[in-house]
Amino acid sequence: MIDFELEPQIVKLLSVYHATAENLMRPISRRYDEHEHEEPWEFWNAIWSASRNRSAQGVEPPPASARNLFTCLTTEELCWGDAGLFLSIPNPGLGGAAVAAAGTPEQRARFLSRFRDGKPKWAAMAITEPGCGSDSAAISTTARREGDHWVINGTKIFCTAGLMSAEKSEGFVVVWASVDRNAGRAGIKPFVVEHNTPGMTVVRVENKLGIRASDTAMLSFEDCRVPLDHLLGSPEVTPEGGFKDVMATFDATRPIVAAMAIGVGRAALDFVREFFQRNNVPVRYGISTRRQTAIERDFIEMETQLKAARLLTWRAAWMLDAGLRNSLEASMAKAKAGRVVTLITQKAVELLGPLGYSRKELVEKWMRDAKINDIFEGTQQINLLIIARRILGYSSKELN
């Protein structure tokens, strides 16, 4: 028997996260959309304090066997509140995911333990470059060994939480650089660069279409020196090494991005449903589509697609928790959710007409916030390419 019901313990915890989204995030959502580079310290301190209080009060955490699934569930709830504010919350973020995927047990303990000492911190991942977007294997940033240090040179763009991680907290940035350009993908290695390391500079912070409460930075590395043990994993260049750590990181983070998309899509869907109810617009289920209105068909299709994306996301997260390879499922969840949230939010604006287009409500903001989920952590096109390769059994050389 297939059971999609969540454990009561998890349902109870999710109600706490939903209250946070509703009471702490929604009221300030518009403000930090309009003031993109203003740092919401009042919100950060409140949510950080709430997290510490849950630990102090002995609130039972979810079982370890559902850690990634629970992360996706809480991500959906918080992004129902505000996706930009969610991305801005002090946490290990993408940098932490890279440490978890590529680091040794000692490195994971050393770099990730700092996020448990009660102080707000951030960690970012720097992989995209001005001349290297979806093709991560084309990274031109280099790292060369000099004595007991690695020296990093290059430029990275579109680093989520790059400013906070590099300059504003005791965090770090995981930089992907090539230690051997002749080795291609195998020569790519991740390096932990501590905050305020000489040679790492925040060049600019981007002005964006959506998720405006989260900073997105361009970082420059000029003879940036880091200790040898800041290279995550083994420095040895092997055919199966290097790029597989990049993909392992994405296998862990793509379900989370999918959950972000589902949260934004659910926000738009809930608003439309409540609007229909207030205005006595019926949505009739269980009857032939020929008897339904165009509005009813559109709304039911929105619900259906959101549920399909959610189930794909849960499966990808569950497989990660079970120790199973989820590259195909992670890309399927990310591709589906990114496309679905774009369609749902656009349709929400369309169904609501002038109200949807107006800044009086958050619907137009959700449409802007939605699009990034179809772009970062691998574009829609790249994820569809990965899916095709996995299903057909082709390599990147055979199908590109």
Which of 273, 266, 263, 271 has the alpha carbon at shortest distance from 356? Answer: 271
Residue 379: other Cβ atoms inside 10 A: 16
Q: N- to C-terminal Cα distance for the chain?
A: 39
Closest C-alpha to 334, from 247, 212, 211: 247
Strands 216-227 and 149-160, sheet pairing:
antiparallel
Q: CA 255: distance to chain centroid? A: 8
d(CA 205, CA 159): 9
As a residue count, the chain comes to: 400
User: Could you identify the residue written with the tokens 């959610």?
Assistant: 310
Using the CB atoms, write b or e for 7-28: b if 16+ within 10 Å.
eeebeebbeebbebbeebbbeb
CA distance 320 to 230: 26
Among the options 60, 329, 377, 398, which is catalytic? 377
- Do 81 and 46 meet the contact criterion of CB atoms below 8 Å apart? no
Q: State yes or no: is 377 an active-site residue.
A: yes
Both tokens of 325, joined, read 């390879």
Annotated catalytic residues are 377
